[in-house]
A and B are shown apart, each in its own frame.
Chain A
Amino acid sequence: MRPGLRKFVRTAHITFTVGWLGAVAAFLALGIAGLTSRDSQIVSAAYLGMDLITRFVIVPLSLAPLLLTGPILSLGTPWGLFSHYWILIKLGINLLSTFILLVHLQPIAYLAGVASEGTLSHADRSLQIQMVVASGAGLLALLAATGLAVYKPRGMTPYGWRKQYEERKVSSDIDIAS
Chain B
Amino acid sequence: MSENQRLPGRGSPPGLPRWVKLFVMIFIFLVLLVVILHLMGFGLGGHGVSDARGLLPGSLVDYELSMAQAQGQLRT
A residues in contact (CB < 8 Å) with B: 51-52, 55-56, 59-60, 63, 78-79, 85, 89, 92, 102-107, 109-110, 112-114, 116-117, 119, 123-124, 126-127, 129-130, 133, 137, 144, 152-158, 161-162, 164-165, 168
Chain A residues with Cβ below 8 Å from B49 are 106-107, 109-110
Per-position 1/0 for B45-76, Cβ under 8 A of A: 11101011101111010010011001100110
B residues in contact (CB < 8 Å) with A: 1, 3-10, 13-14, 16-17, 19-20, 23, 27, 30, 41-47, 49, 51-53, 55-58, 60, 63, 66-67, 70-71, 74-75
* Distance between Cα atoms of A86 and B74 in the complex (Å): 45
Question: Are A112 and B55 in contact, with the CB atoms below 8 A?
Answer: no
Known: A103-B45, A106-B53, A109-B70. A85 touches B20 (CB 8 A): yes
Chain A residues with Cβ below 8 Å from B13 are 156-158, 161-162
Partner of B45, one of A59, A107, A144: A107
Question: Are B44 and A156 in contact, with the CB atoms below 8 A?
Answer: no
Q: How far is the CB of A166 from chain B (nearest CB, A)?
A: 9
Question: Are B19 and A129 in contact, with the CB atoms below 8 A?
Answer: no
* Distance between Cα atoms of A119 and B71 in the complex (Å): 11
* Distance between Cα atoms of A142 and B27 in the complex (Å): 14
Question: Are A165 and B8 in contact, with the CB atoms below 8 A?
Answer: yes
Question: Are A103 and B42 in contact, with the CB atoms below 8 A?
Answer: no
Q: How far is the CB of A173 from chain B (nearest CB, A)?
A: 14
Chain A residues with Cβ below 8 Å from B27 are 92
Chain A residues with Cβ below 8 Å from B55 are 59, 102, 105
Partner of B5, one of A117, A127, A154, A157: A154
A-B contact pairs, 27 of them (CB 8 A): A52-B63, A55-B58, A55-B63, A59-B55, A59-B57, A78-B1, A85-B16, A92-B27, A102-B55, A103-B45, A106-B45, A106-B49, A107-B44, A112-B67, A113-B67, A113-B74, A116-B71, A126-B42, A133-B42, A153-B19, A154-B6, A156-B13, A156-B14, A161-B8, A161-B13, A161-B14, A162-B13
Chain A residues with Cβ below 8 Å from B43 are 126
Q: How far is the CB of B74 from chain A (nearest CB, A)?
A: 6
Name the residue among A60, A104, A119, A153 with the largest chain B CB count within 10 angstroms. Answer: A153
Chain B residues with Cβ below 8 Å from A158 are 13
Partner of A124, one of B41, B47, B53: B47
